[in-house]
A and B are shown apart, each in its own frame.
Chain A
Amino acid sequence: MPATNGKFLLLICLLTLLCLAAVLLSLTSGSIDLGLGETWEALTSREATLQRQVILDLRLPRTLAALVTGGLLGLSGVIMQVLMRNPLADPYILGVSGGASAAALALLLTGASAIWIPQAAFAGALCSILLVFGLASAGGRWSVTRLLLTGVVVSAGWGAVINLLLASSATNTVQSMLFWLMGDLSQSRIGIWQMLILAAGMLVGLVVARQLNVLVRGELPALSLGVNVSRLRIVLYLTASVLTATAVTIAGAIGFVGLVIPHMLRLLGARDHRLLVPLAALLGGSFLVIADSLARTVIAPQQLPTGVVTALIGVPAFLVILRSTIRYH
């Protein structure tokens, strides 16, 4: 059905175009405005011009970072919502970002080199993932309610640690800590392994997409239709957690993308997870690239934290779509 249906092909094409447009917007906008022609020239010429330097060294890495982070968050959001069977679930609900933030802030507090922040954040996230999984599966009974409660409580614990770190920091460190907490791409660079994690997550998502369609009907109906629910849930938990941890490592805790992108797509008609999984990564990436372009330019030369802009443009966009579609629920 979905792949052969014309309406869905149209949706795929439109979102791919949106993604390309977003990347172009991001490459052309900034402190020096470059036209499309200039951008192309800078990308293709071999001369070491200032434009070429700005695009290759500053804008392209940041655009890629936004694209990959958005993709990771969109994908993680879809998976988390099915795992929790809750439309309000987002990638951070089980405390992955809390663990990452606490570790990153602790590093900032000690005044260690900021280069180590991604590593610290990833270690913190990993620690939180294992902690929640260990606590939730202690005693052998692993239920979604138990996982959710454990995740929420561990999250709250990290929240307290974060507040403690903020309260005991000097004013100038608090500023950079807040940027990190709100999610910011200004220092973000990605390497090949973040892209590989996104690709691997997408592959896992596509392989289990059919089972996700069944699982949203509930645990017993899914069992009845032949889904190995307990194994699937562990796969989903680990996949979503690693995707989230990677995103947080790149850009801090950027909110809103993972929660709202899956719903936007469902409202646009992509309810089938075989479609929702790839499209959530595509739309999540495009959305974050656009949000980051705005964050850099709206009050230039000042920069806004990207996480603030995602909410500022995401909330109205989501409400407009919600209003214009009546047949959602």
Chain B
Amino acid sequence: MTLLELESLQISIAGQPICNHLNLQLRAGQMLGILGRNGTGKTTLLHTLMGFHRADQGRILLDGHLPHTGSRRDMARRIGLLFQESDSTMPATVLETVLLGRHPHSDNLLWDSAEDLNIASTTLQLVGLDDLAQRQVSSLSGGEKQRLAVALLMVQSPSVYLLDEPSNHLDIDYQSRILDLLRRRIASQGAGLIMASHDINLAARYCQRALLLMGDGVIMEGPAEEVLIQPNLEQAFRCPIAVVESEGRRYFLPR
């Protein structure tokens, strides 16, 4: 089943082209990695999919529909974004924050149902924050805040998960734990996932498909093992890259 379909999408920001003619399909259970140098427009592309940024041309179809024809709440059940940075001006606890993910699902105006609480605490457990449920968010470390943001997105439970730099602030243990968790979630829910990252190895390990943003609107899209090869990556990142094979996996390092 196709969850998200992009038809000849053209995006630019401040006159700078990001992609000129992007066609793409995201199917249930699929993970797509967006890679590119700083400033090639990874975040802008994700924001365009969310409807925060207007595409110059082309169409975005969510479940076969144009997203802006439904309500925002309806859209929040179909697509959700893990933000690169999050900050709140007002104090809140970890549990209060993760419960916000139930907003597009819950119809109770004044209280959280047992189901809401149940989903929230189960998800906190999954990301290893259950002991910190009553802590103030401002007292968390960067990595804990990132896991909280992942938990919030999992509680929102959209059909398409968009992740902007999911490995931010996470140590290598949590990087794989969180992405394993999301991969299982995608598979069991029939959801799809798109992650923007500058970590080539992370994308190569988890994503079946890859999209390289080369800058100036040039893109390269296809199966990850075909796109993520040394010459393409050297061109995209404009630096010499070494490939190391170990235990049947390829690793990319700066040379």
Spot the interface stretch: B27-35, B85-93, B187-195, B212-220: B85-93
**Given that A272-B96, A274-B110 are contacting pairs, would A225 and B86 also be in contact in the complex, using a CB cutoff of 8 Å?**
no
Query: By DSSP majority rule, is chain A's interface helix, strand, loop, or mixed?
Result: loop
Q: Which residue of B lies closest to A266 (CB)?
A: B91
Among A115-123, A174-182, A211-219, A240-248, the stretch that binds chain B is: A211-219
Closest-CB distance, B166 to chain A (whole angstroms): 15
For the complex formed, measure the closest distance between the CB of A145 and the CB atoms of chain B, giving whole angstroms. Answer: 14
Is B100 an interface residue, CB under 8 A from the partner? yes
Q: Which of B148-196 contact A (CB under 8 A)?
A: 156
Q: Are B110 and A206 interface neighbours, CB within 8 A? A: yes
Chain A residues numbered 203-235 whose CB sits less than 8 Å from any CB in chain B: 206-207, 209-211, 213-214, 216-218, 220-221, 223-229
The answer to whether B117 and A271 touch across the interface, beta carbons within 8 angstroms, is no
Size of A's binding interface in residues, CB under 8 A: 35
From A4, A86, A221, A226, contact of B73 by CB (8 A): A226
From residue 113 to 140 of chain B, which have CB atoms closer than 8 A to chain A? 117, 136, 138-139
Least distance between A250 CB and chain B CB atoms (Å): 29
Binds A, one of B1-9, B76-84, B201-209, B237-245: B76-84
Contacts known (A1-B96, A271-B96); A210 close to B103, Cβ less than 8 A:
yes
Residues in B97-114 with C-beta less than 8 Å from chain A: 97, 99-101, 103-104, 109-112
Q: Is the CB of A225 within 8 A of B50?
A: no
Report if A217-B109 is in contact (Cβ < 8 Å); known contacts: A224-B50, A226-B73, A271-B90: no
- Judge if A3 is at the interface, Cβ distance under 8 Å: yes
Residue of B nearest to A81 (CB): B90
**Nearest Cβ in chain A — how far from B136, in angstroms?**
5
Residue among A2, A81, A223 with the highest chain B CB neighbour number at 10 A: A223
Complex CA gap A206/B108 in Å reads 11
The answer to whether A274 and B72 have CB atoms under 8 Å apart is: no
B75 contacts the other chain (Cβ, under 8 Å)?
yes
**Are A226 and B99 interface neighbours, CB within 8 A?**
no
Closest CB of chain B to A202's CB: distance in Å? 12
- B residues with CB within 8 A of A: 47, 50-52, 71-77, 80-81, 83, 86-93, 95-97, 99-101, 103-104, 109-112, 117, 136, 138-139, 156
Residues of A at the B interface (CB closer than 8 Å) are: 1-4, 81-82, 85-87, 206-207, 209-211, 213-214, 216-218, 220-221, 223-229, 266, 271-272, 274, 327-329
Known: A224-B80, A225-B156, A226-B74. 6 other contacts (CB 8 A): A1-B111, A85-B89, A209-B110, A223-B52, A224-B83, A274-B111
What 8 A-B pairs are tightest by C-beta distance, nearest first?
A226-B76, A226-B73, A226-B104, A3-B111, A216-B90, A228-B72, A225-B103, A1-B112
25 A-B pairs in the complex with CB atoms less than 8 angstroms apart? A1-B95, A1-B111, A82-B90, A87-B89, A87-B90, A213-B96, A213-B103, A217-B97, A218-B86, A218-B88, A220-B83, A223-B72, A224-B81, A225-B76, A225-B80, A225-B101, A226-B72, A226-B76, A226-B77, A226-B103, A226-B104, A228-B73, A271-B93, A328-B91, A329-B91
